[in-house]
Amino acid sequence: MSDEKELRYDPAAIETKWQQRWAADPKLYAAEPVSNGKPKYYVLEMLPYPSGQLHMGHVRNYSIGDALARYMWMRGYNVLHPMGWDAFGLPAENAALKNNTPPREWTLSNIAAMKRQMQRIGFSYDWATEVTTCLPEYYRWNQWFFLRMYEKGLVYRKKSKVNWCPECATVLANEQVINGYCWRHEDTLVEQRDLEQWFFRITAYAQELLDGLDKLEGWPEKVRTMQRNWIGRSEGTEIDFAVENRSEKIRVFTTRVDTIFGATSVQLAPEHPLVTALAQADAGLKVQVSTLIEEQKKARESGDVGAIEKHGVPTGHFAINPYNGELIPIWVANYVLMDYGTGAIMSVPGHDERDFEFAKKYAIPIREVIRPVQNEVGVKLPFVSEDGVLVNSGEYNGLSCAEAQKRLQEVAVRNAFGEATVTFRLKDWGVSRQRYWGTPIPMIHCERDGLVQVPDEQLPVLLPEKIEITQTGGSPLSRVPEFVNVKCPKCGHAAKRETDTMDTFVDSSWYFYRYTDAKNANAPFDSSIAQYWFSIDQYIGGVEHAILHLIYSRFWTKVMRDLGMIKNDEPAQRLFTQGMVIKDGAKMSKSKGNVVSPDDMVARYGADATRMYALFAAPPDRDLDWQEDGVAGISRFLGRVWRLTAKHAPAARAVASEPQNSSKTQEGGALMRKLHQTIAKITHDFEGRWHFNTCVAAIMEFVNELQAADAQLTSGEVPAAVVRELLHNLVLLLAPFAPYLAAELWEELGSQGATLHLSDENPPPGTPILRAPWPKCDPGLAKEDEIEIPVQINGKLVTVVRVAPDADAKAIQAAALADEKVHARIAGKTVVKVIVVPGRAVNLVVK
């Protein structure tokens, strides 16, 4: 090897070498058995959809998780760091249509390609626990869970209005509709269709899902807020209004029962059953109502429900206010929704913006019933605040709104015309999909026995392999007679299988439990193993799943707990949502043409530089602007580390003893101090803040100091034992961020028999760097000999003075007053006050 070549950092050569070595050691990233006695740490990144190509968002996500996993290994934890594939879903069917490739084949080859990319980048996954959701070994347990939930009444079938994406040719869950558009097709409006569908009763857990958020302190506030909004709990009262001359009652939902004396009409949703009944006898009304329904539908489908003009039609009938017997007109209004509350409201124009607008338009009386406490006379209506007292409300006058709500609810309950209720925005999870590439729903339709479960011993219900995929004509499975036709497990007569498949979010709702026992053929997982690993200590992924995957998987965990399979209430103690990777101010996307391929970056600069840049360019929770020049900068830095270490490695290898304090030179002491400060900083960041950008910056600072002291390192002015110590620890600090280079340099420095006097334990010879102990900061060595204290006069910086790090207020004040510049500034003036913050600052207040 020529000198010239030796001085060139060649990431491709280093990374290829170590990738091969790591591949030859399948136990390297494997978790140890439950009985190992070490503290456990479960770090998890959200599993990807196998599109066939990793994108930069993946690289960023996994680089964060990988750094953490490697750090925890070095800290001596038993680490579970798995990876898998969210492998069912529509793109595979689309690809099948386009290329005539079977979805299974397409998916599995994509998985192989992405796995290669991950291995090339060097992510520390234990592939022995790999989970692929489209394989029967996995999806049979989806079916098993479905049956258990069916038995518990948590799965049901009903006909209802559902979201239909014409592009996907399937039903979508509410969570998959974004502002009226399909989550997969930004330009496709979702239609409403009446279909019979399978639902999971997630609403049974609405309150617990909401309450649990308060305890998830390790989750971003943003995600917790989004989930709270989505669950949308609202406390209120339901009140029955009798209808004059008819037997029906109208049950209204209101959060402001205290304003009921101000109700001057009752408003029904156009689909309300009473409206249907009234319209039957009134042809004119019928026409007008169908117009309202049409309008609502259009508005809903175009996503701006809130924007349509409020209008309605009077029914000619009257409702009776149960508190005062008042007759008020019944209207049908296009702003009342059938699927929220009871589909009927009492309209109080004096104290509600929408009711006010509506009443103005139709000259419905507006009555003041709430007044601010301090006001003798009324205020401008509508007055919507709850900070007030009741007026014009009979015996309830003078009560506060809160008090009145309580009293009115009591009266309603006592007289059996109403009750306090809680309403949620959250709807049950519609899981039926009229597509092929998903988990078959394990149910059978029998003419005699109705809905019949597929018996457990017949699971899995296998997805047929040979199938023609089209996007029309309902579920593709319904056109496979061998699949559809089956004998009823109960009566043995001919019956038909359910041909819908499950939403792919079912797959990802529990996959992380499977990782703990991925090969189990008798159960989804062994409860005792899951209990050891759960909760997940750190979950990392994109915020786009805040109310999809992250609410479904919380639900699933609670269901499994209630099935007695696990003990934890929540899947993940801590959640971290990384920011997006953007380029030129926009999210990377094919249509914008600003996609940066990870493969390109790895080929040009190496995996270490690519992933280290992903950590360096921004704090992990913020959006990251990808600048290729920045990757080049990291690559240069890694080259400097490589050259520096390679240059001094022979000397470092030659000494075996620990550095003696007495042998330390001035320069060695300064470098050791910087080292220990760097250790402290990075360790601290791993413990919570995760500002890996500043961790990388700290390592750069340390390297810059080493490089500046190159002459002393070479001359022996810094003893070889100290050099060795500095370089060893530099490499260890680098290991979570640039694992390939760290492994190479670890070997270069002679890892075998390495004694790391900074650590409690000495790794045995040949220890891979992954198992080497993380450096420990020695506060004594990190301590500065002298620190600089800024001196301010009247809050303005004048100079700095150097003092001992533990100098007390007196000493600092003395040093400040002794300073020439300070002298000059205060000459002829009076020092009124001196503020000294030891270790921080001095401020002289001078007149």
Partner RNA sequence: GCCGGGAUGGCGGAACUGGCAGACGCAGCGGACUCAAAAUCCGCCGACCCUUGCGGUCAUGGGGGUUCGACCCCCCCUCCCGGCACCA
As measured in angstroms, the least distance from the Cβ of 633 to RNA is 3
473 φ/ψ angles, rounded to the nearest 5 degrees: 80, 30
Q: What gap in Å lies between CA 710 and CA 702, rounded to an integer?
A: 12
As measured in angstroms, the least distance from the Cβ of 137 to RNA is 34
Which neighbouring-strand residues pair with 390?
370
As measured in angstroms, the least distance from the Cβ of 196 to RNA is 23
**Residue whose C-alpha is closest to residue 614's, from 53, 65, 46, 11:** 65
As measured in angstroms, the least distance from the Cβ of 206 to RNA is 12
Q: Which residue number, 25 or 808, has a Cβ lying nearer to RNA?
A: 808
Euclidean distance between the first and the last CA atom of the chain, given in angstroms as a whole number: 72
Q: What is the DSSP letter of 763?
A: P
**Residue whose C-alpha is closest to residue 687's, from 45, 39, 68:** 68
Q: Which residue number, 115 or 583, has a Cβ lying nearer to RNA?
A: 583
**Residue whose C-alpha is closest to residue 165's, from 143, 145, 184:** 184
3-class DSSP state of 194: strand
As measured in angstroms, the least distance from the Cβ of 387 to RNA is 14
Q: Which residue number, 349 or 598, has a Cβ lying nearer to RNA?
A: 349
Q: What gap in Å lies between CA 140 and CA 435, rounded to an integer?
A: 18
Query: Which pair of structure tokens corresponds to residue 622?
Result: 């913020």
Query: Which pair of structure tokens corresponds to residue 49?
Result: 């959809």
Q: Which residue number, 175 or 507, has a Cβ lying nearer to RNA?
A: 175
As measured in angstroms, the least distance from the Cβ of 237 to RNA is 8
Q: Which residue number, 212 or 524, has a Cβ lying nearer to RNA?
A: 212
As measured in angstroms, the least distance from the Cβ of 696 to RNA is 7
Q: Which residue number, 107 or 405, has a Cβ lying nearer to RNA?
A: 405
Q: Which residue number, 179 or 528, has a Cβ lying nearer to RNA?
A: 179
3-class DSSP state of 769: helix
Widest distance between CA atoms in the chain:
110
Q: What gap in Å lies between CA 109 and CA 111, rounded to an integer?
A: 5
Complete DSSP assignment for 261-273: GG--EEEE-TT-H
As measured in angstroms, the least distance from the Cβ of 294 to RNA is 12
As measured in angstroms, the least distance from the Cβ of 186 to RNA is 11
Q: Which residue number, 231 or 441, has a Cβ lying nearer to RNA?
A: 231
**Residue whose C-alpha is closest to residue 477's, from 433, 429, 431:** 433
As measured in angstroms, the least distance from the Cβ of 644 to RNA is 8
As measured in angstroms, the least distance from the Cβ of 28 to RNA is 30
Q: What gap in Å lies between CA 240 and CA 599, rounded to an integer?
A: 65
Q: Which residue number, 326 or 701, has a Cβ lying nearer to RNA?
A: 701
**Residue whose C-alpha is closest to residue 128's, from 12, 257, 14, 26:** 26
**Residue whose C-alpha is closest to residue 799's, from 807, 790, 810:** 790
Q: Which residue number, 111 or 547, has a Cβ lying nearer to RNA?
A: 547
Q: Which residue number, 104 or 407, has a Cβ lying nearer to RNA?
A: 407
Q: What gap in Å lies between CA 596 and CA 57, rounded to an integer?
A: 10
Angstrom CA distances, 740 to 118, 155, 544, 569, 763, stand at 14, 49, 31, 39, 19
Q: Which residue number, 405 or 527, has a Cβ lying nearer to RNA?
A: 405
Q: What gap in Å lies between CA 623 and CA 178, rounded to an integer?
A: 22
As measured in angstroms, the least distance from the Cβ of 385 to RNA is 12
Q: Which residue number, 225 or 280, has a Cβ lying nearer to RNA?
A: 225
- Asked whether the beta carbons of 630 and 613 are under 8 A apart, the reply is yes
Angstrom CA distances, 490 to 281, 443, 457, stand at 47, 12, 14
- Asked whether the beta carbons of 443 and 503 are under 8 A apart, the reply is no
Question: Cβ of 233: how many Cβ atoms within 10 Å?
Answer: 15
Q: Which residue number, 65 or 341, has a Cβ lying nearer to RNA?
A: 341
Query: Which pair of structure tokens corresponds to residue 737?
Result: 């961020």
**Residue whose C-alpha is closest to residue 238's, from 427, 366, 408:** 408
As measured in angstroms, the least distance from the Cβ of 814 to RNA is 18
- Asked whether the beta carbons of 799 and 791 are under 8 A apart, the reply is yes
**Residue whose C-alpha is closest to residue 550's, from 803, 104, 797, 222:** 222
Q: What gap in Å lies between CA 758 and CA 195, rounded to an integer?
A: 67
- The answer to whether the Cα torsion of 53, 55, 58, 62 is positive or negative is positive
Q: What's the one-letter identity of residue 604?
A: R
As measured in angstroms, the least distance from the Cβ of 543 to RNA is 6
Cis-peptide into 571, omega within 30 deg: no
**Residue whose C-alpha is closest to residue 145's, from 524, 540, 479:** 524
All residues at 6 or more sequence positions from 254 whose CB lies less than 8 Å from its CB, including other chains: 236, 237, 238, 239, 260, 345, 346
Q: What gap in Å lies between CA 463 and CA 440, rounded to an integer?
A: 7
Three-class SS of 209-225: HHHHHHHCCECCHHHHH
Q: Which residue number, 514 or 549, has a Cβ lying nearer to RNA?
A: 549
As measured in angstroms, the least distance from the Cβ of 832 to RNA is 9
As measured in angstroms, the least distance from the Cβ of 106 to RNA is 29
As measured in angstroms, the least distance from the Cβ of 636 to RNA is 4
Alpha-carbon Rg of the chain, whole angstroms? Answer: 34
The residue length of the chain stands at 847
Scanning the structure block, which residue is given the tokens 């059996």?
Answer: 416
Q: Which residue number, 139 or 358, has a Cβ lying nearer to RNA?
A: 358
Q: Which residue number, 91 or 341, has a Cβ lying nearer to RNA?
A: 341
As measured in angstroms, the least distance from the Cβ of 336 to RNA is 4
Q: Which residue number, 133 or 237, has a Cβ lying nearer to RNA?
A: 237
